[in-house]
Amino acid sequence: MILSASRRTDIPNYYSEWFFNRIKEGFVYVRNPMNARQVSRIDISPKAIDCIVFWTKNPEPMLCRLDELAQYNYYFQFTLTGYGKDIEPNVPHKKEKMLPLFQKLSQKLGTKRVIWRYDPIIFTKRYTPEYHLKAFSQIATTLSGYTEKCVISFVDVYAKNRKNMAQLNAYELDRNELTEFAKKISEIANENGISVGSCAESIDLSACNISHNCCIDKALIEDILGHRLNAAKDKNQRQECGCIESIDIGAYNTCKNGCIYCYANYGEENAAKNYAKYDPNSPILCSILTENDKITERKIKSSDFYGL
């Protein structure tokens, strides 16, 4: 099983104590986002997990506890963009804190296991293509030698972020402009020894030396494990997504980063309301089990090709 922690919220930043408690106990409860009364009990012991994929904008709370994951294989998706507090209000200062933190994590885990995400890319009056290219170049230069891959995407509008996107007066580039922009991004990355992949994008950027990326990446996980996996494409993700199947243990409407483009929160008030329910000792994140919940054991299988 591949464990995702998490597309739905920033577990390393806000819920790392809960996560480590779950690791110690070897199981976690997760609500079905489409049916809140359905709760799965998931075995997350070392024998059940092939690899953990962490998604975060700030892994600092986990840094001093990584030895507790000695029995697990894992890697980090670390988002670092050029946005200010107007877009990412609760993310610490990039140059002063987040870039050094990325370097520190890479020194602990190696360049292969810390993926840089510069996404989503939003074009506004302030955040022009020229602005992004300058910010991307500064970050890429600082991360040269600390990561092997950067993942980019262009912002998608969902029901949860449509209002915020409208307030930003975001605009799109035409196909030629977008291709030229992507080509420059790729050139900057390559100059710093970093390859670039796109996340869930329908546009073909292969001419720009940008591949369709798999964030939960079968090839990378096989490289980390040292053997093949028997894992299929995740049917629960968008058609353009190349990720393999995984189980996500996060919860929507719980992330406190407050990013304007977020698709996982309806708003800061909802996130704050759910965060108030946070108990690091609870088996379920930001929630309380009730007698009306139907709890079932989630059937899982190892993705280990040789273990089937």
* Cis upstream peptide for 6 (omega within 30°): yes
pLDDT over 60 at 306, yes or no: no
- Residue scoring higher pLDDT (72 or 269): 72
Average the pLDDT over 195-208 and give the result: 90
Average the pLDDT over 105-128 and give the result: 97
In 3D space, the residue among 117, 123, 120 whose CA is nearest the CA of residue 143 turns out to be 117
Residue with tokens 């020229």: 130
**Amino acid residing at 108:** K
| pLDDT of amino acid 160 | 67
Residues 144-193: pLDDT tens digits? 999 999 999 998 766 667 777 788 889 999 999 999 999 999 999 999 99
Given a contact cutoff of 8 angstroms between Cβ atoms, the answer to whether 29 and 294 are in contact is: no
Query: What region, left, alpha or beta, does residue 200 occupy, with left being phi > 0 and alpha being psi -120 to 50 degrees?
Result: left
Alpha carbon distance 149, 40 (integer Å): 34
C-alpha distances out from residue 251 to 1, 7, 164, 275, Å: 19, 9, 21, 11
**Amino acid residing at 201:** E
What confidence tier does 83 reach under pLDDT thresholds 50, 70, 90? very high
**Amino acid residing at 150:** C
Helix, strand and coil percent figures for the chain, each rounded to 5:
35, 20, 45
